[in-house]
Amino acid sequence: MHLYGTQKINEKGHLAIGGTDAVDLAKEYGTPLFVYDIQLFRDRARAFKKTFEDAGIGYQVAYASKAFSSIAIYQVAAQENLSLDVVSGGELYTALQAGFPKEKIHFHGNNKSEEELRMAFKEEIGCIVVDNFYEISQLKKLSEELARPMNILLRVTPGIEAHTHDYITTGQEDSKFGFDLNNGQADLAFKETHEHQFLNLLGLHCHIGSQIFDTAAFSMAAEKLVGKMAQWREETGYTCPVLNLGGGFGIRYTAEDEPLEPSVYVKDMISTVKETAAVQDYPLPEIWIEPGRSLVGDAGTTLYTIGSMKEVPGTRKYAAVDGGMSDNIRPALYGAKYSSLIANKAEAAATEQYTIAGKCCESGDKLIEQADLPLAEAGDILAVFCTGAYGYSMASNYNRLARPAVVFAENGNHQLVVKRETLEDLVKQDMSYALQEQKG
Ligand SMILES: *Cc1c(COP(=O)(O)O)cnc(C)c1O
């Protein structure tokens, strides 16, 4: 069994998170419940930042907040002096409601609406990460109309795709995101933006994948992007001061995953950028990164109550919980794996094997295919680990299930930061239909 961050087994033999008893949290707030270990979030954020600071290099660490977006997590991110990635007007609005420093907000997305872009100009956010030529033309039009400046980065696809345990390099990338670095699109985007009177081109951005467990792909990307910026400098004299290498740092969902320390990823990036810049005689750019999952993923745990159980003789035992694909779509969506523990029997030996099923009307609604647990009974509190990223943020009301509550636990204190939806919430947007008379 593996515990994360501040997790412990307490004197009652219960799982504790952030110094609070998980069984008590389940009682107080109900289940399903997302519990975040905020100290773990802070420790990760600080580890990323410290590595840049120790190396004496200009940097920004932006929390890629699509992993988990809420006012409270934005407040913690601000307290830790992080920057923030948003990908929609909704995330931007949430950040503004949280009082997040506007100048440290970066706006991503492959199809930003005019309304969203206007919001970015009006709020004078830190930068827009430009994805495509349509967006360039919109940004030119808007910035001229408003006579307002905007910092931009160009998102490029370098032809390196990183996956969990390997990466592939392709001459050209079939991705819906960004300008291709190899076929001239990125050069054209540079040409169209770097001299614009209102658009201030800061540099290049790439995001090469997720759940990445080695440093090689980041290094290759860094080398390619610095090379491109050096080429442009040689051709035009224009120096891009920023290199953004995205996110994708892996975390441990199960024993199969072996992530590196944040410092290892960052140190390697820094040395590659330094070397490449030296070779190309290019002024050392600031390095920006965008961790999402690695800040919130293993900081989050979902607590469920076990209800019905079913044995298919000779095949398997099912234990059903009071949530499922409505609060965690990842197993159904792409076979994501998780580990778990019965929070009220945290010290008991794992003698049984269960398939953890959700309560949604889909036979694919299974959270864990094979969970090794002690004998489970109705009423037990099941803790599923590592659900902090792309869990709540992808939650739905499928089957009209109310979305769970979210609690932050830190230093023995716990605090509700997202309320559980109520039955009234579920029909809040519904309107009655003015029934038409039926003839005959
Ligand atoms: C999703 C995303 C991230 C964060 O990815 P993680 O795997 O959660 O670290 C960073 N940058 C961009 C552009 C993204 O789309």
Instruction: Answer yes or no: is 42 a known binding residue.
Output: no
Question: Does residue 195 belong to any structural domain of this protein?
Answer: yes
* 157 shares its domain with 185: yes
Do residues 257 and 325 both lie within one domain? Answer: no
Beta strand spans in 221-332 (E): 242-244, 286-289, 300-312, 316-321
Is there an atom of ligand 1 within 6 Å of 205 CB? Answer: no
CA of 433 to the centre of ligand 1 (A): 42
In terms of DSSP H, where are the helices of 80-204? Answer: 89-97, 114-123, 133-146, 185-193
Last residue of a domain, one of 296, 319, 339: 296
- pLDDT per position in the chain (440 positions), as tens? 899 999 999 999 999 999 999 999 999 999 999 999 999 999 999 999 999 999 999 999 999 999 999 999 999 999 999 999 999 999 999 999 999 999 999 999 999 999 999 999 999 999 999 999 999 999 999 999 999 999 999 999 999 878 766 677 665 677 889 999 999 999 999 999 999 999 999 999 999 999 999 999 999 999 999 999 999 999 999 999 999 999 999 999 999 999 999 999 999 999 999 999 999 999 999 999 999 999 999 999 999 999 999 999 999 999 999 999 999 999 999 999 999 999 999 999 999 999 999 999 999 999 999 999 999 999 999 999 999 999 999 999 999 999 999 999 999 999 999 999 999 999 999 999 998 888 87
Which run of H or E residues covers position 127? strand 127-130
Nearby residues of 339 by Cβ (< 8 Å), 6 or more positions away: 1, 2, 253, 254, 255, 368, 371, 384, 385, 386
Residue where a domain terminates, one of 236, 269, 296? 296
Domain count along the chain:
2
Instruction: Name, in order, each residue with C-beta under 8 angstroms of 313's C-beta and a sequence gap of 6 or more.
Output: none
Task: Identify the domain boundary among 262, 296, 330.
Answer: 296
The closest residue, in CA terms, to atom 3 on ligand 1 is 247
DSSP, res 260: P
Whether residue 42 is found in the same domain as residue 149: yes
Does residue 44 have a known ligand-binding role?
A: no
Residue 437 burial (CB < 10 Å; 0-12/13-18/19+)?
exposed
Q: Is 338 annotated as a binding residue?
A: no
Q: Collapsing DSSP states into helix, strand and coil, what is residue 269? A: helix
pTM of the model: 0.97
Instruction: Specify the DSSP element, H or E, that contains 85.
Output: strand 83-86
Boundaries of domain holding 339: 8-30+299-427
Tokens 């745990």 -> residue = 301
Residue in 155, 218, 290 to alter for ligand 1 test, most ligand atoms within 8 A of Cβ: 290
Domain co-membership, 397 together with 306: yes
Any idea what the CATH number is for the domain that residue 372 is in? 2.40.37.10
Look up the CATH number of the domain holding residue 239.
Answer: 3.20.20.10
Q: How far apart are CA 360 and CA 107, in angstroms?
A: 34
Pair (212, 84) in one structural domain: yes
How far apart are the CA of 431 and the centre of ligand 1, in A? 37
Residue whose structure tokens are 């699109």: 185
Q: Which amino acid is at 27?
A: K
Q: Is residue 186 part of a domain?
A: yes
Pair (128, 206) in one structural domain: yes
